[in-house]
A = this chain, B = another copy of it.
């Protein structure tokens, strides 16, 4: 990460934008082709997201760290792996780019740039689900950083593919993604009024993961995470 902040923000923007284009675009394609069987649409959506996300992390990790996610940026800052004074520009760029990615996908599929979702995703079970999803996501990222794993892009992507299925909320696990998906009335959408509940749950799950990770690694020699 020797690149200037401007170049790193550009990389973060390209990655987050492409991520949303992949999530929304493959959701639309899956729903249009699946003949009313939502499991087939979600299979396509989850496989495409996993494959695409792994590649985005591979491309952009050396440039910006490839967070694409305010919950990740915040957690890394609180673990002192990422500088606090860059959190605000990173999060701002993630949110803006996420909306741009939604518009790019809608343009490909002949939909209006933005239109509010009507998909209900609320209630305790959904919030618990988002908390679990974000908790797990941060555990994976943390394990990859600790072990300096070359396979990190694939591990994170595999987690998200699994998350689309094993969490009842299909593993948004990302506040920027949640906001932008509220602007898409398609397969992957969420009602704008349901977004805040998701985001609170995500931040709570992320905070819990950060605490657990600190405790689990306390017994290890040196501080490999902060290295």
Residues of A within 8 A of B (CB): 2-4, 7, 10-11, 14, 18, 21-26, 28-30, 33-52, 54-55, 58-60, 62-63, 104-105, 107-110, 125, 128-129, 132, 136, 139-140, 143-144, 146-147, 149-151, 153-155, 158-159, 161-169, 212, 215-216, 218-221
Contact = CB atoms under 8 A, between A and B. Distances in A.
Given A168-B25, A216-B10, A158 B52 contact: yes
Contact of A147 (B22, B39, B62, B109): B62
Nearest to A60: B143
Given A3-B220, A21-B132, A41 B44 contact: no
Contact of A168 (B29, B38, B129, B216): B29
What are the 3 tightest A-B residue pairs by CB atom distance, in nearest-first order? Answer: A25-B166, A52-B162, A33-B39
B108 A21 contact: no
Contact of A166 (B22, B63, B221): B22
B55 A44 contact: no
20 contacts: A2-B219, A2-B221, A10-B216, A18-B136, A22-B166, A29-B42, A29-B166, A33-B39, A35-B38, A40-B43, A43-B47, A44-B165, A51-B158, A51-B159, A52-B159, A55-B158, A55-B162, A58-B147, A109-B168, A153-B155
